[in-house]
Amino acid sequence: MVRSGEAQICGISNVRVIARVRPPFQPEKPGGTACLSDSTLEVVSQDGSSLHFTFDKVHGLPSGAGNTQADIFSDVQDIVLSTLQGFNGCVMAYGQTGSGKTYTLAGDLDSNTEQGLLTRSVKHLAQGISEMTDGSEFQVHLSVVEIYCESIKDLLSDGPGSTSLAVQQDKELGIIIAGATKVAVTNESELVELTQQGLARRTVASTSVNAASSRSHCLITLTVQRHLPGGSVMHGKLTLVDLAGSERQDKTLAEGLTFEEGKLINKSLSALGNVVKALADNPSGHIPYRNSKLTRALQDTLGGKARMALIICCSPAAANAAETLSSLRFGTRAKGIMTSVQAPAVETPADSTHAEIAERVEAVCNEVLQGARDMIEEVRTLREENARLQAQANAAHPGLIPGHVDNARGAGVPIALLLMDVITVVMCLVAVCTAVCKVVDLVSRWMHNV
């Protein structure tokens, strides 16, 4: 069993960025993107200009060497294994449709050589568990959900309530998708069967919603619960993210979607870009996780106590060079993220220590501050949207919206904006009061303990 990387687990580590160039398909002309070494690749644009990118690892040498499914897994296996120690891990595949994201993450689930990261991860976890000698007991659960047009759907169930699931914060488990089916996984064949069922549901949707699978994000999560001898419990999870195709909005709009659909589909990916940028620029500042379902669902696997690998999937074709460049630029931005990987949380039977309560007070304050900032941001977004719609309506029907053309003729719009400001202030006050109550409660419990 490989345990490489465990020594870094409690240090400061960069997000790992890996690029993978798939082999060319038959009618494709290569000459767009090519690997130069195991860490550098070159993109030649259609105007002949060329750019080089360097990442932690690059797969796809013209010889085909070093680009097998097993080679990709060896880049991330330490992240997989760290879930047994209570860490969260995330492996995300980014790239345009047809670049190899699903192949990399799922591959051919049944084939020993072609199976992707998912089956390999479960096998590796099973091996890691069998080699544990401290008497810990483990439970591994699988859940598969899809995010399409900002709506979360359970792919392991068709039952009532399997659509429009909500992202919630659980005290013990962290971020969860409330109501998503979690199935205990005890062996590989069970996992393969369940995953095939889940991915088949995704494909069924794609025939009715115009190839939705290339526009939806699929989150496959393995949660690990470790019961240590003595009663403590550790929680870790590994999320494999098959992102929607990163092609530009003009392409998706050209395929018959409405403007609103196009906007919703792109919302998650652009929100992910903003979170990546914020984490890279100022990880201790405000990170806009709440701006999309995807970033909110991944909140505790993108920053903080988490380890992440981003796999940028690339087409070698010259015709795809512009899309590949944009994917690789996303990878370069992600490379700048420094994650401070803290020790994993272990629940103990008696856990009311001074340090823990102080930590919880800080967490509550941060949560409330974050909530207040999110509210202000949401109001700002609504106001911008309002102004944009007014301008559009005014251009189409001059004089229809009095507040826009002539404030003296219609005070309705300014009053509505004023009301929104008042509501924001009131909501912030409520948030602050809630925080104060929680802090008072925690401090009084601490005083009671000492």
Ligand X SMILES: Nc1ncnc2c1ncn2[C@@H]1O[C@H](COP(=O)(O)OP(=O)(O)O)[C@@H](O)[C@H]1O
Q: Is 98 annotated as a binding residue?
A: yes
Report 3-42 residues binding ligand X (CB under 6 A). Answer: 22-23
Backbone angles phi, psi at 76, to 5 degrees: -120, 0
Report 212-271 residues binding ligand X (CB under 6 A). Answer: 214, 245
As measured in angstroms, the least distance from the Cβ of 245 to ligand X is: 6
* Binding track, positions 278-317, relative to ligand X; x by CB under 6 A: -----------------------------------x----
Answer positive or negative: Cα dihedral of 266, 271, 272, 276. positive
Q: Which two tokens stand for residue 408?
A: 């003296």
Backbone angles phi, psi at 244, to 5 degrees: -65, 155
Which of Mg ion, ligand X, none is residue 98 near (CB under 5 to 8 Å by kind)? ligand X
Q: Is 196 annotated as a binding residue?
A: no
Q: Is 99 annotated as a binding residue?
A: yes
Q: Is 163 annotated as a binding residue?
A: no
Q: Which two tokens stand for residue 55?
A: 């990442």
As measured in angstroms, the least distance from the Cβ of 191 to ligand X is: 19
As measured in angstroms, the least distance from the Cβ of 294 to ligand X is: 16
Q: Which two tokens stand for residue 336?
A: 């700048």
Which of ligand X, Mg ion, none is residue 22 near (CB under 5 to 8 Å by kind)? ligand X
* Binding track, positions 47-86, relative to Mg ion; x by CB under 5 A: ----------------------------------------
Residue type, 25: F
Which of Mg ion, ligand X, none is residue 334 near (CB under 5 to 8 Å by kind)? none
Backbone angles phi, psi at 256, to 5 degrees: 90, 15
**Burial classification of residue 186, based on how many CB atoms lie within 10 Å of its CB (0-12 exposed, 13-18 middle, 19 or more buried):** exposed
Q: How far apart are CA 305 and CA 198, in angstroms?
A: 28
Which residue number has the CB closest to Mg ion? 102
Cβ distance to ligand X smaller for residue 60 or 128: 60
Cβ atoms of 390 and 413 closer than 8 Å: yes
Total interface residues for ligand X by CB under 6 A? 13
157 binds Mg ion (CB under 5 A): no
Max intra-chain CA distance, the chain: 78
Which of Mg ion, ligand X, none is residue 162 near (CB under 5 to 8 Å by kind)? none
Give residue for tokens 């002309």. Answer: 29
Which residue number has the CB closest to ligand X? 100
195 binds Mg ion (CB under 5 A): no
Cβ distance to Mg ion smaller for residue 246 or 295: 246
Report 72-111 residues binding ligand X (CB under 6 A). Answer: 95, 97-103
Spell out a b/e string for 267-291, using b for 16 or more CB atoms within 10 Å of the CB, else e: bbbebbbbbbbbbbeeeeeebbbbb
The pairing of beta strand 338-340 with beta strand 174-178: unpaired
Cβ distance to Mg ion smaller for residue 105 or 194: 105
102 binds Mg ion (CB under 5 A): yes
As measured in angstroms, the least distance from the Cβ of 30 to ligand X is: 14
Answer positive or negative: Cα dihedral of 189, 191, 196, 201. positive
Please state the separation of Cα 70 from the chain's center in Å. Answer: 23
Residue 342 burial (CB count, 10 A)? 11
The footprint of Mg ion (CB under 5 A) covers 102
Residue ranges of the binding site: 95-102
Residue ranges of the binding site for ATP: 95-102
The footprint of ligand X (CB under 6 A) covers 22-23, 95, 97-103, 214, 245, 313
